[in-house]
Structures are given as C-alpha cells and as structure tokens.
C-alpha cells in the first residue's frame, strides 16, 4: 500500500535519485549525439548512387536499419555489454564519482546504435524533402555536389528534422531505463536500490515515474514551442 510514511522515507534517499537524474540526462545526451552521427552516415549510405559500390552501401545500411528495428533494445544492449565490449578495453574513469565508464560507454553505444536505425530514415527523408529545384539552381551556379549538400541541402534538411531529433532525445530519456539491467546508475536503477533498502515496492517506482515525467514533459513542451516558432518563420 502507498502511504505518506512511505513517501517520507524516500526523502532519505534523495541523493540516489539526484544522481540517477544526472546519469539519465548525460546518457540520453551522449547517445543522441553519437546516434545522430551514425544516422547521418547511414542516411548518406542509403542515398548512395552507383551500380556496385552504391548498391553495396544501400544494402549494408538497409540491413543495419532492419536489424535494429527487428530486434529488442534489451537484446542489443546485452550483445554490446556481454559480447562486443568483452573484447574492447574501456578506459577506466569515474565521472562525478559515481558514473562507471565500464558500464556508461557500452550503454551509450548500445542506445546510439539503436537510435541511429530510426533517425537515419528521418535524416534521409529530410534530405529528400528538400526541393530538387534548389539543387538544380546550385549546379547552375557552379557548386559541386559536395558544396550543394553542405551549403544548400543539409542546412534545410536539419531544420526540417530538428523537431524529430529533439523528440528522439525524449524517447531516449525513457528508454534509458532499460540500462538499469547492466548496473547503470540511472533513475530506474536508483529506484530499485531504494526498493531493496526500504522494502517499499511502489513508492520508489512512483518517484521514478515522476522524475521521468519532469524530464520529458518540459522538453516536449519546449519542442512544441520551437516547432511553432519555426512554422511562423516559414510563413513570413
């Protein structure tokens, strides 16, 4: 049963939740950045031209995306943590005194690996959504294909996909809870520690749910405000 006394006990464990919030934010932010880099690479591979090299790149990127979308994030996390990173030596360091690199880095890589499979299609759609007439105009001005992509297409594509990338940050904040299974000290891990210490099952989970909500709700509202501002700018 949920009780006031149970929630009062949660105050004694606030440092656990505070560290969990910081861990979750860092995990989500780093994962989004790395995932975006991978997504850009995958998107360019999906758009590659050429009979042989282009076909190979499109096949590799397509297989990557289908694998990510067709397998659970938990399985991917286990593959990286218990598989790939058993052969990779992670530099040992503790960030803020409680973030262990041996868990933090595999978690970032696994979530970024998963996120890139979804964001790549968003990036590809954003690039293809730029009016082809602008590419023709760039060619008439003497711009090379790389210059056209760098100065004309990508700035407009990024503007179009920015809200979707921001929404991906919100999604990763929530999905990061799965990293508690490998001992990453994020919000859900903190809730499990408090459950074990207090023998209170529901109150720590409710606190964790509220913390996730307090992270995602303002972010979602900020994204909506940015989208409205961008639409007003386009209408001028």
Give per-residue pLDDT as tens, 39-52.
999 999 998 888 78
User: Per residue, what are the HEC states of the chain?
Assistant: CCCHHHHHHHHHHHHHHHHHHHHHHHHHHHHHHHHHHHHHHHHHHHCCCCCCHHHHHHHHHHHHHHHHHHCCHHHHHHHHHHHHHHCCCCCCCEECCCEEHHHHHHHHHHHHHHHHHHHHHHHHHHHHCCCHHHHHHHHHCCCCHHHHHHHHHHHHHHHHHHHHHHHHHHHHHHHHHHHHHHCCCCHHHHHHHHHHHHCCCHHHHHHHHHHHHHHHHHHHHHHHHHHHHHHHHHHC
Give the domain extent around 105.
4-235
Judge if pTM exceeds 0.75: yes
Give per-residue pLDDT as tens, 97-150.
778 888 999 999 999 999 999 999 998 888 888 777 777 777 777 777 777 777
Give per-residue pLDDT as tens, 165-200.
888 899 999 999 999 999 898 999 999 999 998 888
How many Cα atoms are found within 13 Å in the side-chain-facing hemisphere of 56? 2
CATH code, 8? 1.10.3720.10
Average pLDDT, the chain: 88
Question: Is residue 104 exposed (0-12), middle (13-18) or buried (19+ Cβ within 10 Å)?
Answer: buried
Give per-residue pLDDT as tens, 137-173.
777 777 777 777 777 787 778 777 888 888 889 999 9
Count of the separate structural domains present in the chain: 1
């Amino acid at each position: 049963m949920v009780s006031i006394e149970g929630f009062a006990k949660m105050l004694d464990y606030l440092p656990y939740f505070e560290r969990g919030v910081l861990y979750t934010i860092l995990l989500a932010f780093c994962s989004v950045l790395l995932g975006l880099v991978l997504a850009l690479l995958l998107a360019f591979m999906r758009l590659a031209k050429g009979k042989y090299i282009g076909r190979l790149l499109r096949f590799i990127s397509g297989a990557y995306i289908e694998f990510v979308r067709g397998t659970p994030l938990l399985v991917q996390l286990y593959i990286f943590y218990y598989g790939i990173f058993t052969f990779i030596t992670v530099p040992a360091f503790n960030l803020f005194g409680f973030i262990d690199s041996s868990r933090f880095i595999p978690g970032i890589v696994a979530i970024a690996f998963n996120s890139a499979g979804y964001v790549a299609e968003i990036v590809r759609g954003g690039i293809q959504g730029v009016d082809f007439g602008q590419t023709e105009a760039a060619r008439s001005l003497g711009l090379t294909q790389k210059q056209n992509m760098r100065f004309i297409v990508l700035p407009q594509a990024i503007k179009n996909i920015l809200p979707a990338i921001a929404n991906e940050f919100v999604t990763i904040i929530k999905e990061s809870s799965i990293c508690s299974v490998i001992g990453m000290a994020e919000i859900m891990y903190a809730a499990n520690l408090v459950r074990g210490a207090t023998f209170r099952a529901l109150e720590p989970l409710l606190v964790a749910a509220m913390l996730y909500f307090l992270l995602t709700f303002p972010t979602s509202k900020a994204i909506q405000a940015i989208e409205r501002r961008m639409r007003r700018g386009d209408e001028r």
